[in-house]
Amino acid sequence: MKNEVSVDKAELIPAAKKMLAEKARFVTASCLDLRDKFEVIYHFEPRENPEPLTHIRVKIAKGDSLPSISNLYLCAALIENEIQELFNIKISGIALDFQKRFLRARESPEAELLKPTPYVSQPPMRLPVRCGEACPAGIDIPRYVRLIGEGKIAESLAVIKQAMPFPGILGRVCFAPCEHDCRQYKQEEPIAIRMLKRFAYDHATYEEKKPTNRSGKRVAVIGSGPAGLGAAYYLAKMGHGITVFEALSKIGGMMRVGIPEYRLPRKVLDDEINMVKNLGVEIKTDTKVESLDNLFKDGYQAVLIAIGAHQGIKMRVEGEDHPKVIECIDFLRDVNFGRKVDLGNRVAVVGGGNAAIDAARTTRRLGAKEVTVFYRRSRAEMPASPSEVEEAIEEGVKIEFLALPKKVLSKNGTLSLENFRMKLGEPDASGRRRADLIKGSEFSVDVDTIITAVGQRPEIPEQFELRIGPANTIVVDIETLATSKKGVFAAGDVVTGPASVVQAIAVARTAAIAIDKYLGGKGVLPIWEVRVNEPTSRHTFLERWQKKDKRVEMPRLSTEKRLQGFDEVELGLSQAVAVAEGQRCWRCDLEE
């Protein structure tokens, strides 16, 4: 064999010492019975290159003994023991004591190293929780709820801010999938997670850290909705120069256009927008971007398209072109921009989503006496959030379930909406029960105005020259959000079709990371862990069996006052109530 050294018995230990000095690894030893004597070959692996092995050969007479190398190479003890037993060669001084029943190092110089790691009890581990996993923005929900329960409101707000820049907006308009996944939902008493978020925003301040380093890169963001502003916020924090282009005269996108003031007061929205502006983000209103190439020519290295889905979808029924049939999104935009809309007394709203309910409640505030929402399925299938439907009914909105518009009739200046009656069938692909027509069940209702709210889709200028997918959305890479054009990214409703504010904010973060990486950054958001001394066991602070298992009720404005104007309906929680609600959490994230 290559690399072999023959030594006699006395030279074995010095040879092994030499191998140890070279930091070679002991592989094993082979023993051969050569009839008149034994031969033991020790195989070592050199440290630098694993091949070829070095072999040290020792020949000994039968009945002779060998010194053990296990004081140098502890791992040799086991094979020496085997050779000793199988070939009956006496090997003297094996470092591991096989006689004393418990295998322990006896006289090895390395005995110190062999000391087992002292027993350390594990620090409690946090478990993934259902509410946190349900949050599209990935907010550490159990932690901020717990901090509110302890009265640490500012820390709680900081925890929310770690994941998402706009707690004030989401605390009011989020549809709160977390509450549906709360473990107390089964008892119909989920923690009021959204209200607590709003409470944290209203009762604490968070000092935004300004970006310290400048990357010198410029990014154009088209659209100032939740996705655009969210991405602008993160990109600005990463040190890029951001310009946001807004086609309308006011900033906020669908948050300003689509969400009525009684749900999201304009002061909150303006405050959040100012927070983003204070980071050095430039926002240009009344600027419609016509061409992406011009942006690149103007010196922007990357573009994010977050123009949302602002085009209403038609009902596709006869007589829809009547001037008194208006689209929900246009109607809300006009109202929210302070333009006068002539509605008359009787209004019909077609659709069952949040937009339809918003439109109906807005018309009530504008003075319409009879407002009816027509929806083709029943209340259980309604996509609008239940609390909003409830509030709408309180405000005198009538909801006509199981009704599908057949046509719009106009005779002698009077407008009427003819509907089919529906019945519910088997669940369809979306999991909701299918609505089937009942033939001959048509009924008509006389109205002054019809508002259609059957969906929206993005409106993408053709000059962008991007790949367009189903329902007029932009096709993007799902991981990087990159579009078919180099340096152009897209996020929000323009990619997904109409979704929610929280989803848009969540994807803004992904977009910001992707753009930073595209610009040569590491894609690391400058976010600091909020360090608070928190209890780590459920039992240290929670009296689980205390009777406080009723969900808090959000105080609301009285119905009369609501209809007088656009004042915010939800009034917010008081400190005592919010803290009690925070304490009601079961702390599923803590282990014991």
Partner 1 sequence: MAVRTVIPFGPQHPVLPEPIHLKLELEDERVVGVMPIIGYVHRGIEKAAELNTFRQNTNLFDRICGICSFIHGQTYCQGVEALMGVEAPPRARFLRTFWSELSRTHSHLLWLGLLADCMGFESLFMQIWRAREIVQDLSEMTTGHRVIQASSVVGGVRRDIDKDMAKEVDKRLVALKEMLDSTVAPALFHDATIKRRAVGKGMLSKEQAELLGAVGPTARGSGVAKDIRQTGYAAFKEVGFEPVVETAGDSYARTLVRARETYQSIEIMRKALAMMPEGEILVRVDGYPEGETVSRCEQPRGEVFYYLKGNGTNHLERVKVRTPTFANVPTYLVMLPGCEMADVPVITLSIDPCIGCTER
Binding site for partner 1 (CB under 8 A): 1, 25-28, 30-33, 41, 43, 50-51, 53, 55, 73-79, 96, 101-105, 110, 113-120, 122, 125, 127-128, 591
Q: What is the DSSP string of 271-296?
A: HHHHHHHHTT-EEE-S-----HHHHH
- Least CB distance from residue 54 to partner 1, whole Å? 11
Supply the minimum distance, in Å, between the C-beta of residue 88 and partner 1. Answer: 15
Q: Nearest approach, Cβ of 19 to partner 1 (angstroms)?
A: 13
Length of the chain: 592
Region of residue 16 (phi > 0: left; psi between -120 and 50: alpha; otherwise: beta): alpha
Nearer to partner 1, 43 or 152 (CB): 43
Phi then psi for residue 591, to 5 deg, are -80, -40
Q: How far is the CB of 543 from partner 1 (least distance, A)?
A: 25
What is the Rg, in whole angstroms, of the alpha carbon atoms belonging to the chain? Answer: 36
Q: Whose Cβ is closer to partner 1: residue 81's or residue 480's?
A: 81
Name which of 73 and 518 has its Cβ closer to partner 1.
73
Q: Which of 216, 214, 223 is nearest to 304 (CA)?
A: 223
Nearer to partner 1, 377 or 538 (CB): 538
Q: How far is Cα 224 from Cα 353, in angstroms, rounded to an integer?
A: 23
Closest distance of CB 40 from partner 1, Å: 11
User: Based on CB atoms, which residue is closest to partner 1, 108 or 496?
Assistant: 108
Do 374 and 346 contact (CB within 8 A), yes or no?
no
CB 491 within 8 Å of CB 222: no
Q: How far is the CB of 143 from partner 1 (least distance, A)?
A: 16
Residue (128 or 338) nearer to partner 1, CB? 128
CB of 33 to partner 1, least distance (A): 8
316 three-state secondary structure: coil
Show Cβ contacts of residue 467 under 8 Å, excluding neighbours closer than 6 positions: 474, 475, 483, 484
Q: 41 vs 580, which CB is nearer to partner 1?
A: 41
d(CA 328, CA 37): 100
Of 55 and 406, the one with the shorter C-beta distance to partner 1 is 55
Question: Cβ 126 to partner 1, closest distance in Å?
Answer: 8
Residue 126, burial from CB neighbour count under 10 angstroms (0-12, 13-18, 19+): middle
Task: Label the pairing between strands 54-61 and 37-45.
Answer: antiparallel
The Cα 136–Cα 164 span in angstroms is 10
